[in-house]
Amino acid sequence: MTSNRLAQLSQRMAAVTLLLIVAMLALNAALWLFPVIAGKNGWGLGFALTDRLLSDTADKAALFPWWQTTGGIVLSSVPLLALAFGLGHLRRLFQSYARGDYFSSEAARHLGKVGRAVAIWVLLDFLCEPLLSVWVTMNEPVGQRMISLSITAPSFVALFLAACISIIARILWQASEVDSENRTFV
């Protein structure tokens, strides 16, 4: 692939990444505002923490007062904001690649922040689930309230990928240092 095509592809990926960030946060809010689209009888749309908590209670969630819906949006968005932060750095990485900065310390820094953000996303998803489950069921009668906590296989995969991305970022940083030293000798 020529460098011009690679630059164009990187620019497109930067744009797609921005769209993904916006779509992810908008879909999360939409699922809380219109829970019928998340339910089993709806469109089956769902995303991460919101999907786990609304898939069985979509009918009840449609009756939540505004403050409970707003709290659900906020609590379920906390992990997504960490992921959006990482995707923002992924976007900046693609923009660096579009400029031809393949072995820069800036590119390595962006990639490292992507890895850390994915790990933080998994951690925050794990921590916010019990809070959100209490929030969603707080108006239920005694005996029907719940606290949920889940560790899923995708969480382990995401943590593994976060570790891999962080290691590759460290390698890229080392390569940028070697590249910088080689340029000073020439």
Q: Mean pLDDT lowest for which of 25-29, 35-39, 88-92, 119-123?
A: 35-39
pLDDT in tens, 131-167: 998 998 888 888 888 888 888 888 999 999 999 999 9
- Mean pLDDT computed over every residue of the chain: 88
Q: Residue 177 pLDDT > 90, yes or no? A: no
Give me the number of domains the chain comprises. Answer: 1
Question: What per-residue confidence (pLDDT) applies to 56?
Answer: 66
Question: What per-residue confidence (pLDDT) applies to 147?
Answer: 87
The answer to whether 121 and 86 are in contact (CB under 8 A) is yes
Confidence (pTM): 0.86
Q: Residue 119 pLDDT > 90, yes or no? A: yes
Q: Residue 180 pLDDT > 90, yes or no? A: no
Q: What is the DSSP string of 50-94?
A: HHHHHTTTHHHHTT--HHHHHHHHHHHHHHHHHHHHHHHHHHHHH
The answer to whether 56 and 137 are in contact (CB under 8 A) is no
Q: Residue 62 pLDDT > 90, yes or no? A: no
Could you list the residue range(s) of the whole structural domain that residue 96 is in?
3-185
| Euclidean distance between CA atoms 9 and 86, whole angstroms | 20
Q: Residue 173 pLDDT > 60, yes or no? A: yes
Q: Residue 24 pLDDT > 70, yes or no? A: yes
Query: What's the pLDDT band for 90 if we cut at 50, 70, 90?
Result: very high
